[in-house]
Amino acid sequence: MSNEINNEWFDRVWNKHERSAIFELINDDCKIGGLPPSDQSPKEAFATFHDTILAAFDHLTITPEIWAEDGETIVGQGRIQGTHRTTNLDVDFRFAYRAVWKDGRIAEADNIVEWHTALTQTDTQTDSSLEKLLLPPA
């Protein structure tokens, strides 16, 4: 069951861009990691994040490529592809996630996104930024 609903999540929310599916498939009290801090409900916070991502990228597709299922928990990784609207440059970067499904809805979720790659691919951040971050103190 979790595998089918997980596929539905990615297809409807991210590939068909159905904002309403967020409100159908997330529990009211869902704990979501990896989103910016917000005073909004979990559903509203995720919907705001969804709106922001869709506003930034054309032709957005998110494809889970590898996952493992253990009872109600699914963990996986995949690819995010699209065209950055501001720079008109294509992006292809990775993400990882964990979702706990209860009664057909996400009860807990964590997301890790490889934003550095997207920033580099859109020329909005250079590779030297990471080098500077990792430099030892002078």
Mean pLDDT of 112-129: 83
The pTM for the full model equals 0.85
Report the pLDDT value the prediction gives residue 112, as an integer from 0 to 100. 93
Residue scoring higher pLDDT (5 or 45): 45
Give per-residue pLDDT as tens, 64-98: 988 899 989 999 999 999 999 999 999 999 999 99
Count of domains for the chain? 1
- Residue 78 contacts residue 66 (beta carbons within 8 Å): yes
Exposure string for 49-59, b = 16+ CB within 10 A, e = fewer:
bbeebeebbee
Q: Determine the Cα–Cα distance for residues 100 and 98; give it in Å rounded to an integer.
A: 7
For residue 136, is it within any domain? no
CATH of the domain at 20: 3.10.450.50
> What share of the chain has pLDDT > 70, as a percent?
93
For residue 132, is it within any domain? no
For residue 89, is it within any domain? yes
Report the pLDDT value the prediction gives residue 126, as an integer from 0 to 100. 63
Q: Determine the Cα–Cα distance for residues 107 and 102; give it in Å rounded to an integer.
A: 6
> What share of the chain has pLDDT > 90, as a percent?
70
- SS3 string of 102-131? ECCEEEEEEEEECHHHHHHHCCCCCHHHHH
For residue 104, is it within any domain? yes
Q: Determine the Cα–Cα distance for residues 78 and 124; give it in Å rounded to an integer.
A: 23
Report the pLDDT value the prediction gives residue 91, as an integer from 0 to 100. 96
For residue 133, is it within any domain? no
For residue 30, is it within any domain? yes
Full residue range of the structural domain in which residue 91 is found: 2-125
Give per-residue pLDDT as tens, 19-70: 999 999 999 999 998 888 888 999 999 999 999 999 999 999 999 988 899 9
For residue 131, is it within any domain? no
For residue 50, is it within any domain? yes
Report the pLDDT value the prediction gives residue 35, as an integer from 0 to 100. 82
